[in-house]
Structure 1
């Protein structure tokens, strides 16, 4: 018994550090001089060409790419910042808070638009809209919604048809979902009417866009709201049933961001990766950079792209977050 107790004490730190990743992949030579650990919310398929391009230019480096959800990513990195060298996430607000709290290294010689960076430590490298995504076959002869108001009216007119057949983010679990929801709410009162209508038809709640798209393709969902458009467009290319719609009144567009950890094991390699990524984005070769590049339009123009500025952190205040989630739950989680 004493031996088992000692064994449990020895194993406890290892168990605590264990993590179920959505994906985990090594790139480069097994005997590389340096291992760069990247913590990311972006699917490996999008980043594999970028990492391969970086390793081709830096053959002495191998890369471990670890994927998890945006909320988990923020929590993991805050708890163990020394374990990761580069952090990539679509949750702009959480990333900005990390940079503001000193978790990001400053890169003073990076040529990048002022509106797409924060204090030389957080850098945006894509522009990606949230979309309404529809399964055409499942929608049948019903009209295709082009605005949020169209979507509201369609669900109100056909509640039985859409019962448990509409998906959206669970903002309690998804950092990106929470960002999209708070930005929608700031932009228009339509968000709360839409949320209430989705609640009445028992909308299904998801952690991430990939799961929503899977259920759209299988026919389990007819429509999904605030799906990450870049992911949906890729899947739509392989499925004629999937239609991606950017709301015509205004699309909510986020910018995916990257930071080099201020405690990176090899700071120069971490910073070189960030520079390489930003250079590939600027070149715009889809084979080397298969994500949507930054829009040429300044971030705050037209109030469609979420601006990388301190206002992003407003809804991260604990009291404001708690109040927002209570209101959201009252609207959409009507059976709990």
Structure 2
């Protein structure tokens, strides 16, 4: 097992903005003996609120406190105080797997958990509950000038053929500063033999490197960038819904899929309430809320149609590449492997970069 991540957290901690957001739902005094439930999460409020409200309607006697943090804040807070939250959920798959693998998650014995797909859980302790593609966002000005970009191959050809015209107009994650960006980099380097060619082409085009999907979307909406690479699709769908100048593209050659992972800590102060929430999260009722009221992608095997993993599979087919829940995620947190991959990433990205004018 990988031991404490102080080396990684110290290198990234200063980059995580302290921006905790809290929602509180008081218990209904007429609903019976009150219970408490504390959820620590890395899931923005617009996406979380429909789930929380639906759960609270079903369990009105539960006083629910929801704290939304950045992925790194969430992880550090858990390490500092593993007995303060009843449910922990996050899109940082390697960090969540690390905690479960290190013995911090308790097994969940419920009908919903037993029926959950084997590929979407680990040891009955850690559960994926969303299905979110990693996408590109293309500005219509780029489409009108250069044509459609449907795949990574199309993007590579575009960058090779129009390097100067696109200089400074492409944006993506910085894998050095962003945990998500690094996770996608390590997964793509395994998936695609041309990944390093693409990194080099991004470097030649002086691609702008940022820390979050939100920063990329802001620049795309303002017209500073013409193409964003490797954005979180669940956030993109909301952003482009009323932006006719922006088009979301799920790459047709391969598309990474990330999943938010949830667990009940072994030291949860209110584990019974945590189990009720996990049961709801994995139930058809809870997953229907995800499908109909969010863009997170429902995974329940009994659901199909808009807003579900099945619908995305129908749209994209075999190109989907869900990030596997298993020991391979720990490679993301291995210090030597991280340093080796980032060293190559810097080398490829900086190679043959034209001088700034």
TM-score range, shorter chain: 0.7 to 0.9
2: distance between equivalents of 1:53 and 1:333?
49
* Bigger shift: residues 34-43 or 245-254: 34-43
1:227 partner SS: strand
For the structure 1 residues 164 and 80, does the alpha-carbon distance in structure 2 shift closer, same or farther, using more than 3 Å as the test?
farther
CA apart distance, 1:251: 0.9
Are 1:160 and 2:164 counterparts? Answer: yes
Aligned with residue 180 of structure 1, among 177, 181, 184: 184
Are 1:102 and 2:100 counterparts? Answer: no
Aligned partners of 2:264 and 2:275 also within 8 Å: yes
Aligned partners of 2:150 and 2:251 also within 8 Å: yes
Aligned with residue 248 of structure 1, among 244, 252, 259: 252
Aligned with residue 293 of structure 1, among 292, 298, 304: 298
CA apart distance, 1:20: 5.3
- C-alpha deviations, 1:151-207, integer Å up to 9, x for none? 112122222222222111122232222221111110112221111111122212222
Aligned partners of 2:200 and 2:348 also within 8 Å: yes
Aligned partners of 1:138 and 1:219 also within 8 Å: no
Aligned partners of 1:131 and 1:228 also within 8 Å: yes
Aligned with residue 324 of structure 2, among 296, 299, 307: 307
For the structure 1 residues 39 and 316, does the alpha-carbon distance in structure 2 shift closer, same or farther, using more than 3 Å as the test?
same
1:224 partner SS: strand
Query: 1:16 is matched with which residue?
Result: none
Q: TM-score, normalised by structure 2?
A: 0.81
1: distance between equivalents of 2:294 and 2:143?
34
Aligned partners of 1:71 and 1:173 also within 8 Å: no
Aligned with residue 124 of structure 1, among 124, 128, 131: 128
Are 1:319 and 2:320 counterparts? Answer: no
Q: Unpaired segments of 5 or more residues in structure 2?
A: 1-15, 300-308
CA apart distance, 1:293: 1.0
Are 1:209 and 2:226 counterparts? Answer: no
Query: 2:201 is matched with which residue?
Result: 197
1:81 partner SS: coil
2: distance between equivalents of 1:175 and 1:20?
14
For the structure 1 residues 160 and 208, does the alpha-carbon distance in structure 2 shift closer, same or farther, using more than 3 Å as the test?
same
1: distance between equivalents of 2:245 and 2:294?
26
For the structure 1 residues 182 and 224, does the alpha-carbon distance in structure 2 shift closer, same or farther, using more than 3 Å as the test?
same
Q: Unpaired segments of 5 or more residues in structure 1?
A: 1-18
For the structure 1 residues 168 and 68, does the alpha-carbon distance in structure 2 shift closer, same or farther, using more than 3 Å as the test?
farther
Are 1:55 and 2:56 counterparts? Answer: yes
2:272 partner SS: helix
2: distance between equivalents of 1:219 and 1:93?
33
Number of matched pairs: 315
RMSD between aligned alpha carbons? 2.5
Q: TM-score, normalised by structure 1?
A: 0.85
For the structure 1 residues 306 and 20, does the alpha-carbon distance in structure 2 shift closer, same or farther, using more than 3 Å as the test?
closer
Query: Where do residues 68-107 of structure 1 align in structure 2 (5 Å cutoff)?
Result: 68-107=69-108
